A = this chain, B = another copy of it.
Amino acid sequence: MDVDALLARARDGDRSALARLLSVVERGGEPAREVGRLAHQASGGAHTIGMTGPPGAGKSTLTSALVRTIRADGHRVAVLAVDPSSPFTGGAILGDRVRMGDHALDDDVFIRSMASRGHLGGLSLAAPEAVRVLDAAGFAFVVVETVGVGQVEVEVAGETDTTVVVVNPGWGDAVQANKAGLLEVADVFCVNKADRPGAAEARRDLEQMLDMTAGRDWRPPVVDTVATDGTGVDELWAAIRSHQDDAATSGRLEQERAERVKVEVRRILARRLLEAAEARAEGDGFDALCAGIVAGELDPWEAVDQLLAE
């Protein structure tokens, strides 16, 4: 496989070349390394946008509407939809075809679902690699949409240049958002389904919570949207652009990207060591140790001591 050629074709708009590169990244291993290396060299031009929020908040519909606005503004845009999916079924339920919807005929929009597959650290490692490939393929904007507000999902969505947190009226209150760590990652808040009762309260809750988090350089704006009819999506786009400008001119963008690199290196280091360890966590010796734990002869930490001593 000539990764260099595939990447060049992807830059020229060849969708099947791009899809192939992303599949390589998802599968991992040595070929993924080569893709990652070349994509890294060619990346850095895209502005990345995270979309996160509770399941059912309407993130997919909002992302689709946002893509329309970004296109109308003249930019190429890619979407990486990260789906926690089931560790058992091992795949995204909503296929890329369903998601493509009204963008199916637009060559300057590329939408891809990525399953987390339940691997420890899998999602947090694979997502930045996939984003880098989309970046290297020349998309001006890469939207990363995650389902759910768990620790890993919020992390992945938060590791973008501009993170949009999507909530709904009556979803709960700002305390819930704070509990899920959403306040910390939000650069823009979006109250979607704002035509429902309680939108003003949701907005007020968020603004009050923001009042309490003093000392931040950037105060996340709160934007109302109704994704299903496009209301407020232009304002959401303007808020994202405004954050993008502010982050770039203040130097925060550069700083945050450098910090993210460190986080990623630590994560890869941990992953490599885990792989090296997996061989020890197999076979008769391992099973015997675990049986000993069940029998109460030793505890899990003592078992690991024995594995490491071998």
Interface residues of A (CB under 8 A from B): 33, 36-37, 40-41, 44, 54-56, 83-89, 93-94, 116, 118, 120-121, 123, 147-154, 171-172, 175-176, 178-181, 183-184, 257-258, 261-262, 264-270, 272-274, 276-278, 280-281, 286, 289-291, 293-294, 296, 299-304, 307-308
Contact = CB atoms under 8 A, between A and B. Distances in A.
B300 A265 contact: yes
B84 A151 contact: yes
A163 B301 CA distance: 25
B294 A258 contact: yes
Contacts of A257: 294
Q: List 6 A-B pairs, minimum CB-CB distance, nearest first.
A: A150-B150, A56-B172, A40-B299, A273-B273, A270-B274, A55-B176
B304 A179 contact: no
A256 B104 CA distance: 45
Contacts of A264: 300
Given A54-B55, A274-B270, A180 B147 contact: yes
A261 B273 contact: no
A113 to B, nearest CB: 11
Contacts of A301: 33, 36-37, 268
